[in-house]
Chains A and B, each alone.
Chain A
């Protein structure tokens, strides 16, 4: 069940500075235009912690806001992130929310979700018949997903076992 208190709002408060980092710092550390997706890390993290319903609503809000400020077609990120987070929610276990977060499994789930997010977005926003599906999968799916899951791995390594998040 969704409960709205300060703990629920914490990820939304984290999202704004994270979005600023995404748009200002991440382009500097991008490699040949391949960049990690910080909002995906946040969404998958909290979906595994709080459940699929929470993740879906957060993905819709984050995606909407990201589309608004980045100039993307409105609704495109909202669509792709919601599907990716829905998949992440399949791994949610209410009594064992830590099971997937504080070890390598978090990176693997993040990798899967980042691929789904990127590929769905690419097909939705700019797919045409001249695009090679393999090239899209590699260039827009797998490579950014590897980068995202590496950063996500760092988050899971430093994840505090109790309380803070």
Chain B
């Protein structure tokens, strides 16, 4: 038996090794969400993030000024507030909702520094220096004063990984701010798209998309992006729209974790 396999191995060992590695990769891809792998990943990336945070400090802005941090925080709060007011203003024009509007401007935003970014290979993920010790949980939205950045996917005690808008893992219900039509936002590896928008929707270049109240991931109104172009104006029953993200994902160094999105539902009319 061994005598038979030895010459085969000698002749094709590199091909056999490649096949074994590819098979292992596919098995890992299939079992990506299993509890064991998630725990191992949390441990490994937590350890790595702790070690590399020393280096990160060398390349980030030295010493965050308290005032800057406060202003960033305030900007993000105001962005959420403005979005909410804008949405209610539009709603009032159509449905006279304003008397039911209850101010709930106490947003709980947790300031976070982006420890490192993975921007290779069409999948953008960030690691932030906040973890379960700060109350961060998987599924919480992350935003800046410009708009939504992504959703927390993995959390260790001191760090968390954010699936940004430019990650195929993140799919979000969004709505066109002016017409209120809803679609599904996703990253296709090259473009940020909104699909499933009916052709009856009057969508124009420059229109703004915000997160939808019916989204289970982010139900407070937060800017996602502006329409860059309509991909299929003449084809199909549904529009496919390309968005320009509101937040500049390439340049941001800080973000906020929106801690109270699930407990406070600003869109629920009482």
Contacts and interface: CB of A to CB of B under 8 A. Distances in A.
A132 interface: yes
Interface residues of A, number: 60
Interface string B31-45: 110000100110011
A68 B44 contact: yes
Contacts of A122: 121-122, 189-190
A68 B45 contact: yes
Nearest to A123: B189
Contacts of B163: 71
B56 A33 contact: no
Interface in A111-134: 117-118, 121-122, 124-128, 130-132
A14 interface: no
B132 interface: no
A89 B18 CA distance: 12
Given A22-B120, A57-B17, A60-B21, A73 B29 contact: yes
Grouping DSSP codes into helix (H, G, I), strand (E, B) and loop, the B interface class, with mixed when no group exceeds half, is mixed
Contacts of A24: 52, 55-56, 59, 115-116
A125 B163 CA distance: 13
B14 A52 contact: yes
B105 interface: no
Contacts of A57: 17
A74 B28 contact: yes
Contacts of A59: 21
Contact of B29 (A22, A33, A76): A76
A143 to B, nearest CB: 11
Interface string A31-42: 011010100000
A70 B120 CA distance: 10
Closest 3 A-B residue pairs measured CB to CB? A126-B168, A75-B28, A23-B116
